[in-house]
């Protein structure tokens, strides 16, 4: 087994000290390379000349763009390594990014109100609003690109080799192109400084720096904290529209060219408080919350009006380059339409238990859609039955699909294609039935309590001290489906710390805490890919997304020594590791007795229910009963013991748990039976 050596740790974390604190934008290097191309350089200079003329005209006419009709920008999004089977997910992810941009560039983002608290530190600045609207183009898609593009559908290419591997594609001239692909070196993204629509140039983002939410894991596009709120695209798109970094890529002697952004000495990473970093001019503060800085996504939330004036003027230059007849129809369905999404796939089932498998779908009517829509399913297990409730729908609502007669089906995985169709439109969505007599079962493993392991201090500014490690040994539970980790640390100035979780192979790792927050003291954090961005406090407590996704461990074995490593990258502050734990979820056989002799009859009603479930059990003995309820990941949401006198009746209240499908296990100590219940 490969051992973690002190040398490799120090070498690795010396590099991380920069990456953990600052985002990595490749704009400068990209421009240096692109300007070697004479055609690129000539067009860039022409666009810059037009931009300067536009600025002069705007000033001389004393017009503000906000008084005009917004300019609609047609967007095309490209996923060269995406899977066509993942189209619905990738299209939805693309739309989340468009929604983020529309908020960020018009000051309607959900966190825009944070400027109210910060603004007193920046009396010469105002929260800027651009005169633009982004939407995914739906008309005039180019031929011979992605064969699965549908005229009238969103301009999202999947598996198409955009530009032959380059960052511009003449076939997509006239669109604002977003290219989502793997970028070497961990760079989040890059863009030309002053881009060209006519040349089909693109803003390029790494696979973990596009959109927000869970992403599309099957296609490898998964937003990763702390850059998982879509602000990388906001930042790089600013470059495309001629905005420089707030420090002008120089320092105090180099301005960014914007009058209402304070002169900055350099980039700021992490999540500094507003007004906490003195600027280059006495009495001013660096604008770390500006989208053109390098802070975490959750800690940048505004452009200045001066920046938005630059954007508006540059887009006026580009407007003539937009493809004809795209803008007028961009993002607007040609007529009534609908969407359908699955909310609880996969479902686990077993012929032995013969419980029905119930899938849920959200049906959303769009643009006044009011047409009777029916449902069908293909890919079912042989002998299975299927029914939909309701069988028809014409407006927004929830539809359930029940797969029955499971007892007469064969074990296996089944991809079921559900089709919703009417005379207006037809859509499909795939769900997965894992009919293998398994379920997702989660097991927790903890270190000893009160470890009190001292964390050696750093030896200088961004110079790491010795690393500490702690090990939790885990048995063979099977193949990992998901993992969460909790780490409890007492330490002053927690931004000094890097915390890393290593798989037992001692090679695969995920950074949990990457020099996050600032001068707060201590944290007790559960790291989960489903968590929100870190909210710094004193101490920092809660469930948050890790610095790097824990999904890197999915599909790996559980057995062996899981190692937690902590290293301090700055001197003057010390602390201790109190304890830590991991929860490993795997797909494992159902623990169901095929012939429970003591539990003769179990009745649960109503099912589905709004939260109150009545349980009646007839048994042959008066042994006490334990009722445990698990979610689809195997986590306990309810557990209680009850006295039993042969005839057992009890009402269980699940009104406080989320809607979804759960497994209820009823056990008398020797025998148990599992029942599937649905909370509406």
Q: pLDDT-derived band of residue 632, with 50, 70 and 90 as boundaries?
A: low
The DSSP symbol for 46 reads H
Domain for residue 147, yes or no? Answer: yes
609 in Cβ contact with 593 (< 8 Å): no
Q: pLDDT-derived band of residue 478, with 50, 70 and 90 as boundaries?
A: confident
> Of 32, 62, 151, 236, which residue is the catalytic one?
236
> 470 and 393, same structural domain?
no
Distances (CA, A) of 587 to 480, 530, 671: 7, 19, 22
Percent of the chain whose predicted confidence (pLDDT) is above 90: 52
Instruction: For helices 87-105 and 231-240, give the axis angle rounded to 10 degrees.
Output: 60
Please tell me the total number of residues recorded for the chain in this structure. Answer: 680
663 in Cβ contact with 673 (< 8 Å): no
641-674, pLDDT tens digit by residue? 888 877 788 999 998 888 877 888 888 776 777 7
CATH number at residue 261: 3.40.390.10
Q: For residue 390, what are the domain limits?
A: 337-436
> Which long-range contacts does 314-317 make (Cβ < 8 Å, 24+ apart)?
314/51, 314/54, 314/194, 314/241, 314/242, 315/71, 315/73, 315/130, 315/131, 315/132, 315/241, 316/54, 316/58, 316/65, 316/71, 317/47, 317/50, 317/51, 317/54
Q: Residue 314, class by beta-carbon neighbours within 10 Å (0-12 exposed, 13-18 middle, 19+ buried)?
A: buried
Provide the number of structural domains found in the chain. Answer: 4
Read off the pLDDT of each residue in 14-38 and give the average, rounded to a whole number. 55
The residue with greater pLDDT, 582 or 423, is 582
CA–CA gap between residue 436 and residue 152 (Å, rounded): 41
Domain for residue 469, yes or no? Answer: yes
Domain for residue 659, yes or no? Answer: yes
Q: Residue 488: is its pLDDT beyond 60?
A: yes
> 265 and 127, same structural domain?
yes
Q: pLDDT-derived band of residue 66, with 50, 70 and 90 as boundaries?
A: very low
> 535 and 503, same structural domain?
yes
Three-class secondary structure of residue 31 per DSSP: helix
> 484 and 412, same structural domain?
no
508 in Cβ contact with 560 (< 8 Å): no
Q: Residue 7: what pLDDT?
A: 30
The DSSP symbol for 356 reads P
Three-class secondary structure of residue 304 per DSSP: strand
543 in Cβ contact with 525 (< 8 Å): yes
For the beta carbon of residue 259, count every other beta carbon within 10 angstroms: 12
Domain for residue 44, yes or no? Answer: yes
CA–CA gap between residue 3 and residue 114 (Å, rounded): 46
The residue with greater pLDDT, 479 or 291, is 291
Residue that has been written with the tokens 């230059």 in this structure: 317
Residue 522 tokens read as: 């201590």
Q: Residue 323: is its pLDDT beyond 80?
A: no
Last residue of a domain, one of 263, 298, 329: 329
78 in Cβ contact with 157 (< 8 Å): yes
Nearest residue to 155 via CA among 207, 94, 209: 94
Three-class secondary structure of residue 290 per DSSP: strand
Read off the pLDDT of each residue in 95-123 and give the average, rounded to a whole number. 93
137-172, pLDDT tens digit by residue? 887 788 889 988 887 789 999 999 999 889 999 899
Q: pLDDT-derived band of residue 593, with 50, 70 and 90 as boundaries?
A: very low
CATH number at residue 657: 2.60.40.1930
Nearest residue to 200 via CA among 249, 142, 251, 154: 142
HSE-up of residue 303 (Cα within 13 Å, Cβ side): 32
Q: Residue 51: is its pLDDT beyond 70?
A: no
> 231 and 90, same structural domain?
yes
CATH number at residue 507: 2.60.120.260
Question: H/E element holding 10?
Answer: helix 6-19
Read off the pLDDT of each residue in 566-582 and give the average, rounded to a whole number. 94
Asked if 236 is an active-site residue, the reply is: yes
Three-class secondary structure of residue 558 per DSSP: coil
First to last CA, the chain: 49
Q: Residue 473: is its pLDDT beyond 90?
A: yes
- Residues ≥6 apart with Cβ < 8 Å to 388: 375, 399, 400, 401, 402
Domain for residue 4, yes or no? Answer: no
Task: Go through 430-449 and write b for each residue having 16 or more CB atoms within 10 A of its CB, e for each that does not.
Answer: ebbbbbbbbbbbbeebebee
CATH number at residue 406: 2.60.40.10
Domain for residue 288, yes or no? Answer: yes
Last residue of a domain, one of 556, 589, 622: 589
Nearest residue to 134 via CA among 71, 213, 66, 77: 71
> 111 and 35, same structural domain?
yes
> 573 and 459, same structural domain?
yes
**Bridge-partner residues for 412, per DSSP?**
435
In 269-344, the DSSP E strands lie at 337-342
The DSSP symbol for 629 reads E
Residue that has been written with the tokens 């029942």 in this structure: 675
175-224, pLDDT tens digit by residue? 999 999 998 877 899 999 888 888 899 999 999 999 999 999 999 999 99
Q: Residue 491, class by beta-carbon neighbours within 10 Å (0-12 exposed, 13-18 middle, 19+ buried)?
A: buried
Domain for residue 247, yes or no? Answer: yes
Task: Output the CA angle 658-99-203, nearest 5 degrees.
Answer: 125
Last residue of a domain, one of 302, 329, 356: 329
> 447 and 405, same structural domain?
no
Q: pLDDT-derived band of residue 616, with 50, 70 and 90 as boundaries?
A: confident
Q: Residue 582: what pLDDT?
A: 95
For the beta carbon of residue 388, count every other beta carbon within 10 angstroms: 19
3-state secondary structure 410-453: CCEEEEEEEEEECCCCEEEEEEEEEECCEEEEEEEEECCCCCCE
Q: pLDDT-derived band of residue 307, with 50, 70 and 90 as boundaries?
A: very high
The DSSP symbol for 298 reads G
Longest Cα–Cα distance of the chain, Å, equals 93
Domain for residue 7, yes or no? Answer: no
> 353 and 447, same structural domain?
no
- Whether the link from the prior residue into 196 is cis, omega within 30° of 0, is no
> 111 and 232, same structural domain?
yes
Q: Residue 357: is its pLDDT beyond 80?
A: yes
> 620 and 575, same structural domain?
no
pTM: 0.49
Task: Output the CA angle 260-265-268, nearest 5 degrees.
Answer: 90
Q: Residue 43: what pLDDT?
A: 63
Average pLDDT score, the chain: 84
The DSSP symbol for 252 reads T
Q: Residue 54: what pLDDT?
A: 53
Residue that has been written with the tokens 């502050």 in this structure: 573
Q: Residue 17: is its pLDDT beyond 90?
A: no
Nearest residue to 483 via CA among 415, 566, 578, 548: 548
CA–CA gap between residue 383 and residue 393 (Å, rounded): 27
Q: Residue 329: is its pLDDT beyond 60?
A: no
The residue with greater pLDDT, 19 or 267, is 267
Residue 573 tokens read as: 């502050």
Three-class secondary structure of residue 55 per DSSP: helix
Q: Residue 630: what pLDDT?
A: 84
Mean pLDDT check: name the lowest of 19-28, 150-159, 245-254, 385-394: 19-28
243 in Cβ contact with 310 (< 8 Å): yes
Residue 162 tokens read as: 């955009």
Q: Residue 634: what pLDDT?
A: 66
> 215 and 76, same structural domain?
yes
């Amino acid at each position: 087994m490969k051992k973690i050596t002190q040398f490799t740790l120090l070498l690795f974390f010396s590099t991380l000290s920069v990456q953990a604190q600052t985002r990595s934008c490749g704009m400068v290097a990209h421009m240096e390379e692109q300007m070697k191309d004479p055609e690129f350089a000539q067009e860039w200079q022409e666009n810059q000349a037009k931009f300067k003329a536009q600025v002069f005209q705007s000033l001389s006419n004393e017009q503000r763009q906000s008084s005009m009709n917004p300019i609609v920008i047609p967007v095309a999004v490209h996923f060269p390594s995406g899977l066509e089977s993942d189209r619905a997910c990738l299209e939805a992810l693309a739309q989340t990014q468009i929604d983020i941009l529309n908020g960020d560039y018009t000051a309607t983002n959900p966190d825009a109100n944070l400027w109210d608290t910060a603004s007193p530190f920046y009396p010469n600045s105002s929260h800027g609003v651009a005169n633009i609207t982004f939407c995914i183009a739906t008309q005039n898609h180019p031929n011979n690109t992605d064969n699965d593009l549908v005229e009238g559908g969103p301009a999202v290419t999947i598996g198409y080799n955009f530009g032959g591997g380059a960052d511009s594609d003449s076939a997509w001239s006239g669109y604002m192109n977003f290219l989502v692909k793997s970028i070497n070196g961990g760079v989040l993204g890059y863009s030309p400084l002053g881009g060209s629509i006519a040349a089909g140039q693109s803003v390029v983002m790494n696979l973990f720096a596009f959109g927000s939410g869970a992403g599309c894991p099957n296609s490898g596009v998964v937003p990763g904290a702390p850059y998982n709120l879509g602000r990388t695209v906001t930042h790089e798109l600013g470059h495309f529209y001629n905005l420089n970094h707030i420090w002008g890529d120089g320092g105090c002697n180099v301005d960014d060219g914007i009058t209402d952004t304070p002169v900055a000495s350099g980039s700021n990473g992490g999540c500094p408080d507003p007004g906490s970093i003195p600027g280059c001019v006495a009495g001013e503060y660096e604008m770390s919350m500006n989208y053109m800085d390098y802070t975490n996504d959750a800690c940048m939330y505004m452009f200045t009006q001066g920046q938005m004036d630059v954007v508006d003027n540059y887009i006026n230059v580009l407007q003539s380059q937009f493809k004809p007849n795209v803008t007028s129809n961009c993002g607007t369905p040609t007529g009534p339409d609908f969407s359908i999404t699955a909310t609880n796939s996969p479902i686990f089932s077993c012929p032995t238990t013969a419980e029905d498998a119930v899938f849920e779908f959200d049906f959303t009517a769009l643009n006044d859609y009011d047409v009777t829509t029916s449902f069908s399913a293909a890919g079912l297990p042989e002998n299975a039955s299927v029914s939909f409730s309701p069988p028809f729908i014409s407006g927004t609502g929830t539809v359930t699909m029940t797969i029955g007669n499971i007892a007469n089906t064969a074990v296996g995985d089944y991809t079921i294609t559900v089709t919703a169709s009417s005379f207006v439109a037809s859509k499909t969505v795939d769900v997965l039935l894992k009919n293998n007599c398994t379920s997702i079962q989660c097991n927790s493993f903890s270190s000893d309590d009160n470890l009190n392991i001292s964390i050696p201090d750093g030896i200088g500014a961004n110079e790491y001290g010795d690393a500490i490690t702690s090990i939790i040994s885990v048995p063979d539970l099977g193949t990992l489906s998901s993992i969460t980790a909790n780490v409890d640390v007492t330490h002053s100035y927690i931004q000094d710390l890097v915390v890393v979780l290593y798989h037992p192979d001692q090679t695969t790792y995920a950074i949990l805490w990457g020099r996050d927050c600032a001068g707060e003291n201590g944290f007790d954090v559960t790291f989960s890919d489903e968590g929100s961005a870190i909210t710094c406090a004193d101490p920092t407590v809660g469930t948050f997304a890790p610095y790097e996704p824990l999904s890197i461990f999915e599909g790996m074995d559980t057995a062996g020594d899981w190692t937690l490593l902590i290293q301090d990258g700055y001197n003057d502050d010390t602390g201790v590791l109190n304890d830590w734990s991991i929860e490993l979820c795997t797909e494992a056989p159902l623990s169901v007795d095929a012939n429970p002799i003591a539990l003769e009859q179990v009745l649960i009603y109503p099912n589905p229910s709004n939260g109150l479930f009545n349980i009646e059990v007839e048994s042959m003995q008066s042994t006490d009963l334990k009722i445990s309820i698990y979610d689809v990941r195997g986590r306990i949401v309810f557990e209680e013991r009850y006295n039993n006198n042969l005839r057992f009746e009890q009402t269980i209240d699940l009104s406080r748990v989320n809607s979804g499908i759960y497994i209820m296990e009823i056990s008398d100590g020797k025998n148990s039976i599992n029942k599937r219940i649905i909370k509406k």
